[in-house]
Structures are given as C-alpha cells and as structure tokens.
C-alpha cells in the first residue's frame, strides 16, 4: 500500500526495514516490465504504446527536472518462466527509478520484493489482484489498474436493470477474471437477479465448448463474458451452441471490449452487446494518438492505464523535485488528487511549476490514490455494440464513484 504507514507487515522476503534511500541522479529513468512473450503477450503492444506515448508527450514538454526521461523496456514474460526477475535485475542495474509493470498480478507478486527492496517505485497498469492492497511494499507499490470493484458494481447493476433475472457468468480464471466476476455476482444477487451459473474457465484451454455447454443447460437470460481476447473463441462457441447475442443478452468488460478483435465476425454478431469500460471519455482520440506511436496496434487494453502510470510518475518526480523512487512514491498521492484538475502532462507540469497543487485526471479515470496506492475513484462508461461489431465513441452512460464505495 501507498502510504508508508498503512500495511507494513513483517511477512515479506524483503527486509522489513525501510528501503534504502536511493539518491536520485537527476535523470528520471523509467523501466517497463511488460509482456513481450507468454500468455499475456497480446497485452504488450498496447501497454508499451501507452508508455511510449506518455513519454513522447513528456519529453516534448521538456522532460522531467529539465532532462528528458529515459526509458528501458524489458519483458515480463509470464509466470511459466522466470524472465521477469531477470528483467528486473536489468532494470535495477540500469538505475531505473520506477518500474511500470507487470501486466500479470502473479508476475508482479514475484518481483515486487526485488523492486521495492531496491527503493524503486513499482507501478502496475494492470494488476487487479486484491492482494496488492495489503501487500508489504514499503509504500512503493501503485497501480492504475482498472477498478474492478466499481466496474463490477456498474456492470452488475446494468445487468439487473436490463431485467435479466437469470444470469450466467463466464469468467477467465485469474485474479482479474475471478475478482471482477465475484463483484458482479454479488451485485446481481443483491439486486434480485439470479446467477444461475458461473463458469471460471482456463484461458489456456484448447477449447471452450464444454464450458459453454454448461451455460447452455441453464438457459440464462443474460450472459456476462469476463476475459481477454480469448473471448473471441467464446463468442464463436456461443453462436455455435445456439446462444447468440440476439437471443441472450451478452455483456462484456474492459478486458474484452474491442473494436478490432471481432472484425472478422459476421455482421451483427455482437449487435446490442453492452459492456463497461473504465475512463471518462471515449478513448477514440487517445487511440488515434496511440496508433501514431505504434501503427500496428490492434488492441488497446490497458493502454490508458499505462499512459497514466507514466504521466503520474513523471509528475510526481517533478513535484518531488527528485527522481529517487522513494521521493516519487511520496508525491504520487499528491499529484493524483486534491488540487487543480489537469489531464495531460504539459498542462499539469505547467501548473506544478507555477506552484499549484494539481489533480491529474487520466484517460483511464480520475485516479485518486488511496493510502494503499490503489486508485480511489473511477469513471465507468457503458457502451453498446452496433451492427458492425464495433462500439461507438459515445458511451450510453458514464458512472463515477468511489471504488471502495
């Protein structure tokens, strides 16, 4: 958790005492620890692009502490190999002040001690496991991860208010999927809906037909699909087994809301499908900017979070007038809330230089860090797919709220 005070327990492998107070060297050095390989490799390109875009804007705006920000990219792989640990070694050897990553909660867990033990900020754009709220991190761990609790509530509420009295949840079996599913399930049940079936599927499974067959046997009114890009396979299977979107209401989440993934599907397959996506504005403009950084980008999952992570770190360094990890961590909470609102680095840094207290509101949401280093508020947009299997720029509705409630 963010504040040094909150959740220090003496469990971790890293020494329980405070981190060595690394001195800054004047140059803000960012390290990325994002998936280039492994089961989450598809998340790599958008995340890298998000950081790259932020960096481009930061350096165009004059950098941090008067110097351009330096960045080193490394691979987080997945937990099946111990790549991440080696990557962290490299980043630490290159004197990174903050590490942006990893995508997978499991990977982050395996390296958090190493990173925070070196007094470096560990900032994940995608970790959703609730463990990080209470983890012993010397106050150096932060995340702009999608706010599952809020999203789950919004989605659950949406499902109930659409009149789905019987619902099946189809969730990817990892901390993202199960965490979100838990919240959705809770909200729906409280709201009077009945979760007739919940299938946690292994995203690496060869085939999802059995999983879908199980849902079919309960014949739910609404089907909630929580997962990543493998949802494409699930969609195909749902259609095959006679559970298309025009007979059952489908719902999606930020992990699988995509305008590119489903383009090969026959027209109308996703028509009317609703989904929730964190962020105050439709991401279209931002996506255009991303495409300039990486023209081959197909998916945008976690790009906003990555972008915001980089911006926040840069702002915190600027605010702290130091590039040392501990100093950055100390200011991250400040720049994320309570002050004059600003939405991009240039705007914010100008305010900072003018001595104003700022409140950075990012693409992924308003991001107000709580003591645990988790975002405290968020905005969730509700979108609906059209006939062409894409969803429009404009959301049906936005809901903002405290994540913790």
Query: Which of 24, 50, 125, 193 touches other proteins (CB under 8 A)?
Result: 193
Tell me whether strands 358-360 and 377-384 are parallel, antiparallel or unpaired: unpaired
Selected from 97, 137, 148, 157, the binder of other proteins by CB under 8 A is 157
Report 325-354 residues binding other proteins (CB under 8 A): none
Residue among 134 and 356 whose Cβ is closer to other proteins: 134
The pair of structure tokens assigned to 137 is 């991190």
- By beta-carbon proximity to other proteins, the closer residue of 192 and 355 is 192
Does 364 engage in binding with other proteins (CB under 8 A)? no
54 binds other proteins (CB under 8 A): no
Binding of residue 272 to other proteins (CB under 8 A): no
Q: Find the shortest distance in angstroms from Cβ 316 to other proteins.
A: 24
Token representation of residue 83: 């790549």
| Residue 105 near other proteins by CB under 8 A | yes
Residue 321 CB, nearest approach to other proteins (Å): 26
The answer to the question of residue 242 lying near other proteins (CB under 8 A) is yes
396 binds other proteins (CB under 8 A): no
Smallest separation, CB 263 to other proteins (Å) = 9
Q: Which residue has the tokens 């009149």?
A: 163
CA separation for the pair 370, 192 (Å, rounded) = 32
Q: Which CB atom, from 318 or from 323, has the smaller least distance to other proteins?
A: 323
Select the residue interacting with other proteins from 7, 59, 209, 343 (CB under 8 A): 209
Q: Is 194 in the site for other proteins (CB under 8 A)?
A: yes
Return the structure tokens found at 199: 């299938």
Q: Which residues, 6+ apart, have CB-to-CB distance to 140 below 8 Å?
A: 19, 115, 116, 119, 120, 121, 122, 325, 326, 329
Of 149-157, 273-281, 326-334, 341-349, the segment contacting other proteins by CB under 8 A is 149-157
**Residue number with CB closer to other proteins (97 or 299):** 299
| Footprint on residues 297-316 left by other proteins (CB under 8 A) | 298-299
What backbone torsions phi and psi does residue 122 show, to the nearest 5 degrees? -110, 110
Of 21-40, binders to other proteins (CB under 8 A) are 34-37, 39
Give the nearer residue to other proteins in terms of CB position, either 335 or 375: 375
Q: Where does 104-240 show beta strands of DSSP type E?
A: 121-124, 141-143, 166-172, 194-201, 222-226
Q: Which is nearer to other proteins, 6 or 232 (CB)?
A: 232
Give whole-number Cα distances, 277 to 158, 218, 397, in Å: 13, 28, 11
Chain positions 60 to 89 lying near other proteins, rule: CB under 8 A, are 72-75, 77-83, 85-87, 89
Which CB contacts under 8 angstroms, 24+ apart, belong to 6-9?
6/139, 6/371, 6/372, 7/133, 7/134, 7/135, 7/136, 7/137, 7/372, 8/136, 8/138, 9/134, 9/136
Residue whose C-alpha is closest to residue 144's, from 27, 54, 84: 54
String of contacts with other proteins for each residue 164-183, x by CB under 8 A: xxx------xxx--x-----
Stretch that binds other proteins, among 55-63, 109-117, 304-312, 347-355 (CB under 8 A): 109-117
CA distance 181 to 171: 6
């Amino acid at each position: 958790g963010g504040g040094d005070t909150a959740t220090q327990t003496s469990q971790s492998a890293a020494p329980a005492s405070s981190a060595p107070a690394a001195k800054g060297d004047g140059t803000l050095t960012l390290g990325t620890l994002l998936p280039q390989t492994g089961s989450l490799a598809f998340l790599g390109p958008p995340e890298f692009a998000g950081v790259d875009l932020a960096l481009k804007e930061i350096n165009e705006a004059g950098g941090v502490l008067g110097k351009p920000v330096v960045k080193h990219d490394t691979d987080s792989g997945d937990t099946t190999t111990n790549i991440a640990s080696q990557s962290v070694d490299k980043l630490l050897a290159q004197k990174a002040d903050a590490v942006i990553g990893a995508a997978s909660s499991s990977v982050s867990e395996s390296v958090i001690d190493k990173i925070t033990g070196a007094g470096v900020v560990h900032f994940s754009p995608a970790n959703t496991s609730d463990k990080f709220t209470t983890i012993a991190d010397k106050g150096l761990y932060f995340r702009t991860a999608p706010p599952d609790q809020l999203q789950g509530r919004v989605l659950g509420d949406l499902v109930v208010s659409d009149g789905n009295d019987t619902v099946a949840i189809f969730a990817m079996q990892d901390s993202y999927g199960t965490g979100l599913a838990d919240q959705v399930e809770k909200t729906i049940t409280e709201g009077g809906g009945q979760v007739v079936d919940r299938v946690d599927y292994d995203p690496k499974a060869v085939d999802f037909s059995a999983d879908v067959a199980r849902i079919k046997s309960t014949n739910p009114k609404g089907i909630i699909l929580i997962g990543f890009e493998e949802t494409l396979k699930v969609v195909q299977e749902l259609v095959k087994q006679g559970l298309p979107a025009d007979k059952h209401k489908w719902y999606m989440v930020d992990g699988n809301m995509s305008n590119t993934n489903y383009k090969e599907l026959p027209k109308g397959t996703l028509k009317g499908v609703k989904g929730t996506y964190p962020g105050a504005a439709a991401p279209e403009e931002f996506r255009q900017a991303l495409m300039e950084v990486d023209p081959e980008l197909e998916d945008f999952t976690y790009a906003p979070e990555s972008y915001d992570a980089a911006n926040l770190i840069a702002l915190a360094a600027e605010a702290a007038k130091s590039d040392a990890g501990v100093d950055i961590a100390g200011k991250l909470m400040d720049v994320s809330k309570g002050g004059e609102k600003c939405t991009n680095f240039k705007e914010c840094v100008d305010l900072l230089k003018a001595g104003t207290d700022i409140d950075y509101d990012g693409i992924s949401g308003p991001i107000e860090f709580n003591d645990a280093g988790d975002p405290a508020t968020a905005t969730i947009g509700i979108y609906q797919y059209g006939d062409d299997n894409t969803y429009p720029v404009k959301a049906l509705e936005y809901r903002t709220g405290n994540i913790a409630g």
